[in-house]
Amino acid sequence: MKVLVINSGSSSLKYQLYDMRDESVLAKGLVERIGMDSSILNHKPTGGQEVTEVKEILEHNTAIRKVLSMLTDPEHGVIKSIDEIQAVGHRVVHGGESFKASALVDDPAKTEIRRLFDLAPLHNPAAMMGITATENNMPGVPQVVVFDTAFHQAMPEKAYLYGIPKVLYNKYKVRRYGFHGTSHEYVSHIAAEFLGQAIEDLKIITCHIGNGGSLTAVQGGHSIDTSMGMTPLEGLMMGTRSGDLDPAIVPFVMNKEELTVNEVNSMLNKHSGLLAISGISSDMREITDGMANGDANCTLAFEMYEYRLRKYIGSYAAAMNGVDVIVFTAGVGENSVVVREKVCENLTYLGVEIDDALNAIRSGEPRLISTSQSKVKVLVIPTNEELVIARDTYRIVSELK
Amino acid sequence: MLFKKIGVIGGGTMGQGIAEMLAAKGIEVLLVEKSVEKLNYSYQMIETSLDKQLEKWGITQAEKKLILSRIQKVVHFAELGSCDMVIETISEDIEAKKLIFSQLDQVCPNNIILASNTSTLSLTELASTTMYPERVIGMHFIYPVGKVDLVEIIRGLKTSDITFLETKRFVEEIVNKKGIMIYESPGFVSSRLICLLINEALHILQEGVASAEDIDDAMRIGYQFQNGPLEMADRFGLDSVLAALERMFREFGELKYRPSTILKKMVRAGHLGVKTGEGFFKYDKDGDRV
């Protein structure tokens, strides 16, 4: 069975085509900077020539159309016809309490995903556009949705409830859901495998830091706490999201600036974080470049980002009464040598000791970056949410037949 | 009907607001004006409105660009033939509107809904110039279009059920606003009520009962209006308020609709409200109270 995995984010669209007989990747690619005039479509057929196209792609709809035509392209494609794709798996950010595991896309599932738009305003609509565009282009092909929130459904009540009137939980399910679950689950398992230890015996803090970012305390293979909350806005300071802040700031600013609910939501989700503090960019690469050039705002943005990240590691060590492994993953976690270095530099009280030479290595493989004396193993593990999605999709669609 | 492409005729305040709101909902818009100059001006005003939202963090640069990319500038009616609906938003002149509807009637296939954003005129009269009056309907948006989630849907005498139902579905499911059904009558519901309130506020002002500021505070603070009646009049345009009152006065023949003389005086002096910078209050060029 060939399975297409679509990970439709707020400004990017990743795809991978799997042959599930051997879980091999036939092709993968990424559409970046959707919504800007210089969008980049990067397509890599396995064993073939990498292709990059730069053009204006303003919407996810167009992005998916481009991906499908690239997959069937006579020169760069890997299949003759779209019909060869027998199932499509989508990453969906928010599954609420309704989805504790992956699910087949049918009308009730779509209704439920739409109902959850309010909770993930940047992400669920993008995923839904992907589902709709897939339906239009590949009618009759079964689709599966895999949720970012599912892994965190194991969290205990004391971690997922907020200290506000409980009626709000009963009425509207206001609670912590957490995100990037597929990634936190995957990298924590790979970490145990890599170290040759049983995951049941490990206390792992997984740092999934990309444009959005979250930390999870994984104890015995289960998520016991995570930094994102009811929406992906809570927790770390991110590319364009504020992360934690005093909730009283929201009504205060709304009143002073006469903002509507939409405006204040947009302010916190799209105009805050690294972008707001640096005044330049939401991209960590540009922030660290700016810092290297002595830009004061970039330096401040970096320091705030690192400081907040480090505080979360400390709090999860406290939550689990210790930590055996710290894992860095996702865009920033896998690639930013300086973020990892600065965070670990001030974790010596936990017994963290990083090996600078190992930390500087760039590779696509799971790797250890702490010294042999370090009490805590620090790992960099490239995440592979797509593989998890492909496996779930394959399993659910096979059960149908 | 899928409502993917919609024609908006007239690039005045309401036309700009409707075009921008539709584009923000992901709909392709053909914006029609008489000349390229007027069209460019309207487009520029939409851009200014988006810039103001950008300043308030309401949208991002990319979203602004995306919204603008969905608005196509058009000067010829012939291009409206491919639209799934056409909304007319020109000034409240029945003869000019009739001309537009008779032209649209020829350009658009007979299943395409032709809507007018009129706030007071007769839909039955507008429809009388068309061969297919059953597809003519009133769709009255309220200023500012992007923020007020109410649309008055007005049925003319010959408007068909299917036209009404499709319009209501468009308003509630595609545009996500509340649509209320109104049988044609001068001023419909919202204009009739609000113009009377404004007119009474003007009488109070004229009689020296209270100052403009205090009258507005009474309603704004006391009855939770976002703006008081006098500022509301300034924002609608005093000429538009006068025209609406005069029309209702003529149609109903009742004294309560007779426009206050102070309103007439202001209009004659060219103090039309926000758009001229001065009405009962003063405004800067962004439309904020000075």
**Core vs surface per residue A323-351: b (16+ CB within 10 A) or e:** bbbbbbbbbbbbbbebbbebbbeebeebe
Given CB atoms, is A260 within the 8 Å cutoff of chain B? yes
Q: Tell me what percent of the residues of chain A surpass a pLDDT of 70.
A: 99
The model's pLDDT over A223-241, given as tens digits with 9 standing for 90+, comes to 999 999 998 899 999 999 9
**What are the chain B neighbours of A264 within 8 Å (beta carbons)?**
57
Given CB atoms, is B69 within the 8 Å cutoff of chain A? yes
Q: Could you state, in order of their start, the residue ranges of all structural domains in chain A?
A: 2-147, 197-385
Q: Do B53 and A260 lie within an 8 Å CB cutoff?
A: no
d(CA B138, CA B155): 6
Cβ neighbourhood burial of A356 (10 Å; 0-12, 13-18, 19+): exposed
**Which of A11, A58, A263 comes nearest B57 by C-beta?**
A263
Q: Do A263 and B56 lie within an 8 Å CB cutoff?
A: yes
Question: Angle formed by the axes of helices B190-206 and B229-236, to 10°?
Answer: 120
What is the pLDDT, as a whole number, of residue A349? Answer: 95
- Reduced 3-state DSSP string for chain B: CCCCEEEEECCCHHHHHHHHHHHHCCCEEEEECCCHHHHHHHHHHHHHHHHHHHHCCCCCHHHHHHHHHCEEEECCHHHHHHCCEEEECCCCCHHHHHHHHHHHHHHCCCCCEEEECCCCCCHHHHHCCCCCHHHEEEEEECCCCCCCCEEEEEECCCCCHHHHHHHHHHHHHHCCCEEEEEECCCCCCHHHHHHHHHHHHHHHHHCCCCCHHHHHHHHHHHCCCCCCHHHHHHHHCHHHHHHHHHHHHHHHCCHHHCCCHHHHHHHHCCCCEHHHCECCCEECCCCCEC
Mean pLDDT of A264-291: 95
Position B143 confidence tier, pLDDT thresholds 50, 70, 90: confident
- A197-385 has the same fold as A2-147: yes
Given CB atoms, is A118 within the 8 Å cutoff of chain B? no
Å from A257 to nearest chain B CA?
A: 8
B92 near B119, Cβ under 8 Å? yes
Q: Do B56 and A262 lie within an 8 Å CB cutoff?
A: no
Count contacts between A and B (CB, < 8 Å): 36
To the nearest whole number, what is the mean pLDDT of chain B? Answer: 94
Mean pLDDT of A358-373: 95
Q: Do A37 and B53 lie within an 8 Å CB cutoff?
A: no
Nearest chain B alpha carbon to A57: B66
What is the pLDDT, as a whole number, of residue A60? Answer: 78
What is the pLDDT, as a whole number, of residue A133? Answer: 82
The model's pLDDT over A170-184, given as tens digits with 9 standing for 90+, comes to 998 999 999 999 999
- The ipTM, to two decimals, is 0.76
Position A35 confidence tier, pLDDT thresholds 50, 70, 90: low
Nearest chain B alpha carbon to A257: B56
What is the CATH topology of the domain spanning A197-385?
Answer: Nucleotidyltransferase; domain 5 (3.30.420)
The model's pLDDT over A45-62, given as tens digits with 9 standing for 90+, comes to 999 899 999 887 877 778
- Say whether pLDDT at A123 is over 90: no
Q: Do A266 and B66 lie within an 8 Å CB cutoff?
A: no
Q: Which of B27, B56, B69 to mutate to test the interface with A (most CBs of A within 10 A)?
A: B56
Given CB atoms, is B49 within the 8 Å cutoff of chain A? no
The more confidently predicted of residues A326 and B92 is A326
**What are the chain B neighbours of A58 within 8 Å (beta carbons)?**
62, 65-66, 69
Å from A263 to nearest chain B CA?
A: 4
Nearest chain B alpha carbon to A265: B58
DSSP SS3 for A394? helix
Q: Do A263 and B60 lie within an 8 Å CB cutoff?
A: no
- Helix H or strand E segment including A185: helix A181-195
Å from A61 to nearest chain B CA?
A: 12
The more confidently predicted of residues B270 and B93 is B270
Q: Tell me what percent of the residues of chain A surpass a pLDDT of 90.
A: 78
Q: Tell me what percent of the residues of chain B surpass a pLDDT of 70.
A: 100
What is the pLDDT, as a whole number, of residue A64? Answer: 86
What is the pLDDT, as a whole number, of residue A10? Answer: 67
Position A206 confidence tier, pLDDT thresholds 50, 70, 90: very high
Q: Do B57 and A11 lie within an 8 Å CB cutoff?
A: no
Residues 6+ apart with CB under 8 A from A370: A344, A352, A353, A354, A355, A358, A376, A377, A378, A379
Among the listed residues A383, A389, A5, the one whose alpha carbon sits nearest the alpha carbon of residue A212: A383
What is the pLDDT, as a whole number, of residue A37? Answer: 63
Given CB atoms, is B63 within the 8 Å cutoff of chain A? yes
Given CB atoms, is A37 within the 8 Å cutoff of chain B? yes
Position A11 confidence tier, pLDDT thresholds 50, 70, 90: confident
What is the pLDDT, as a whole number, of residue A285? Answer: 94
Position A195 confidence tier, pLDDT thresholds 50, 70, 90: very high
d(CA A278, CA A297): 5
Mean pLDDT of A242-257: 96
Backbone phi and psi for residue A334, each to the nearest 5 degrees, phi listed first: -85, -25
Q: Do A270 and B57 lie within an 8 Å CB cutoff?
A: yes
**What are the chain B neighbours of A266 within 8 Å (beta carbons)?**
57-60
**What are the chain A neighbours of B65 within 8 Å (beta carbons)?**
35-37, 58
Task: Using the structure block, give the residue that is written with the tokens 């003519």.
Answer: B136
The model's pLDDT over A278-311, given as tens digits with 9 standing for 90+, comes to 999 999 999 999 999 999 999 999 999 999 999 9
Among the listed residues A212, B182, A195, A286, the one whose alpha carbon sits nearest the alpha carbon of residue A204: A195
Given CB atoms, is B65 within the 8 Å cutoff of chain A? yes
Å from A205 to nearest chain B CA?
A: 34
Residues 6+ apart with CB under 8 A from B220: B226, B227, B228
d(CA A243, CA B143): 35
Q: Do A35 and B63 lie within an 8 Å CB cutoff?
A: yes
Sign of dihedral through CA atoms A265, A270, A274, A279?
negative
Given CB atoms, is A36 within the 8 Å cutoff of chain B? yes
Given CB atoms, is A189 within the 8 Å cutoff of chain B? no
What is the pLDDT, as a whole number, of residue A295? Answer: 97
- Say whether pLDDT at B30 is over 80: yes
What is the pLDDT, as a whole number, of residue A34? Answer: 75
The model's pLDDT over A69-118, given as tens digits with 9 standing for 90+, comes to 899 999 999 999 999 999 999 999 899 998 989 999 999 999 999 888 87
Distance (Å) of CA B70 to CA A148, A164, B4, B23: 32, 43, 11, 6
CA B285 to chain centre: 20
State how beta strands A85-92 and A2-8 pair.
parallel
Cβ neighbourhood burial of A290 (10 Å; 0-12, 13-18, 19+): buried
Sign of dihedral through CA atoms A182, A188, A192, A193?
positive
Å from A188 to nearest chain B CA?
A: 35
What is the pLDDT, as a whole number, of residue A70? Answer: 93
**Which of B53, B60, B69 comes nearest A58 by C-beta?**
B69
- Say whether pLDDT at A220 is over 80: yes
Given CB atoms, is B285 within the 8 Å cutoff of chain A? no
Cis peptide before B144 (omega within 30 of 0): yes
What is the pLDDT, as a whole number, of residue B205? Answer: 97
Q: Is A180 left (phi over 0), alpha (psi -120 to 50) or beta?
A: left
- Give the CATH superfamily of A2-147: ATPase, nucleotide binding domain (3.30.420.40)
B125 near B93, Cβ under 8 Å? no
- Helix H or strand E segment including A253: helix A249-257
- Say whether pLDDT at B285 is over 80: yes
Position A400 confidence tier, pLDDT thresholds 50, 70, 90: confident
Question: Which residues of A fall in the annotated binding site for Mg(2+)?
Answer: 7, 385
Catalytic residues of A: 148
Whole-prediction pTM value?
0.81
Given CB atoms, is A271 within the 8 Å cutoff of chain B? yes
Å from A267 to nearest chain B CA?
A: 5
